[in-house]
Amino acid sequence: MKRAFALVIAFATAAFAQAADLDAGKARVSKVCAACHGETGSSVSDAIPNLAAQKAVYLEAQLKALKDGSRKNPVMNAIAAQLSAEDIANVAAYFAAQAGAPAGSKSAFLPNLAKTGVTFPENYRNTFTKYHTINFPATKQVRYYYANPAAVAAAKSGKSLPDGSEMFVEVHAAKLDAEGKPVSGSDGFFVAEKLLFYTAMARRAGLGNDIPDMLRNEDWNYAVFTTDKQHRPGVNQAECLACHKPLDKTSYTFTIKQIADSK
Ligand code: HEC
Ligand code: HEC
């Protein structure tokens, strides 16, 4: 009799430990996941899957694979790496409990992540250092990388990049030959034919204040500018933050070595 009672308690405790916490799932989703998948699982863009009404077991399996890296996606790998097993169970149960998203529906960006404190650096051609160039064969682009004096000085002395640092990238379409292949110059880089847009990242005190920890890059913000120097509409800063997030040891900067080595 006593034994049977103990067993019942053991079962009840196990069941309780496994029950997902929908409120905790909702809290996590509304702060972080909503930036891309929408608060109720209807995503913000065509490149991001809806999660509403998806099966919880499937969602858990995907999040585990994204966390351990067996499923690869730089943005989701960075986010899933920060989720505990409990978080995973909670967010999966929360999305599974949402009504399926109507066809064609789209959620809005989160306002705290859509806004950016990065402004167009008017004088960058005279004041920044051009420190790097990369060919992008898949998109037939060539990109020129610039860093401002604060960033260059810190990188050269091996310090993390301080407030006031800024990196700025010109994205150009490459000149194409008759077969549609990019033409290379004598330096081995594609010949730039047409400026398409600019990307930028800047660090200033307070810029990270409204960004949830799972996405925050200390006090860095990101932006994309059109060729007429305006913020490009439709940019989801959450994607920039997520992909640069794992680089906390190098000031969230992929090309830190090139900045340090610049002339
Ligand atoms: C910055 C945007 C962004 C954020 C924030 C984000 N996701 Fe994602 N998520 C993506 C993208 C993009 C994909 C598609 C990945 C791929 O193509 O493999 C994805 C895929 C997934 C998948 C796989 C879906 C499937 O159909 O296989 C799951 C599950 C998921 N995300 C859960 C989450 C959860 C939970 C959070 C919050 C903790 C979250 N995501 C936050 C962008 C984001
Ligand atoms: C999928 C991952 C990914 C996403 C999303 C992403 N970046 Fe990056 N970013 C990179 C990589 C990798 C580099 C290194 C050079 C390159 O590929 O251009 C880079 C380089 C940069 C640089 C030059 C400084 C550095 O870190 O080396 C800037 C500025 C930048 N990105 C801005 C942005 C902005 C703005 C967004 C959002 C609109 C963004 N990035 C989104 C991966 C990403």
Query: How far is it, in rounded angstroms, from Cα 26 to Cα 56?
Result: 14
Please answer whether residues 60 and 132 qualify as being in contact, where contact means their C-beta atoms are separated by less than 8 angstroms.
no
| Alpha carbon of 79 to ligand 1 centroid (Å) | 8
Token pair 């402004």 is at which residue? 119
Q: Which of 124, 132, 106 minimizes the C-alpha distance to 187?
A: 132
Query: How far is it, in rounded angstroms, from Cα 132 to Cα 170?
Result: 11
57 C-beta neighbours (distance < 10 Å), count: 10
**CB under 8 Å to 233, separation ≥6 — which residues?**
none
Query: How far is it, in rounded angstroms, from Cα 232 to Cα 60?
Result: 35
Query: Considering only CA atoms, which residue is closest to atom 26 of ligand 1?
Result: 49
* Rg of the chain (C-alpha set): 23
Note the pLDDT of residue 1: 46
| Alpha carbon of 95 to ligand 1 centroid (Å) | 12
Q: Which of 134, 159, 133 minimizes the C-alpha distance to 250?
A: 159
Would you state the structure tokens that stand for residue 201, as one six-digit string? 């990242």
| Alpha carbon of 255 to ligand 2 centroid (Å) | 9
Measured from the alpha carbon of residue 237, the closest ligand is 2
Mapping DSSP onto H, E and C, the string for 29-47 reads: HHHHHHHHHCCCCCCCCCC
Note the pLDDT of residue 15: 47
What's the whole-model pTM score?
A: 0.94
Measured from the alpha carbon of residue 238, the closest ligand is 1
Question: Residue 75: CB within 6 Å of ligand 2?
Answer: yes
7 C-beta neighbours (distance < 10 Å), count: 10
Query: How far is it, in rounded angstroms, from Cα 205 to Cα 162?
Result: 9
Note the pLDDT of residue 98: 98
- CA 248, 130, 191 angle in degrees (round to 5)? 115
What the chain holds in terms of domains, given with CATH numbers, is 2-108 (1.10.760.10), 124-260 (3.50.70.20)
- The mean pLDDT of the chain is 94
- Give the chain's residues under pLDDT 70: 1-18
Please answer whether residues 53 and 67 qualify as being in contact, where contact means their C-beta atoms are separated by less than 8 angstroms.
no
DSSP letter for 19, please.
Answer: S
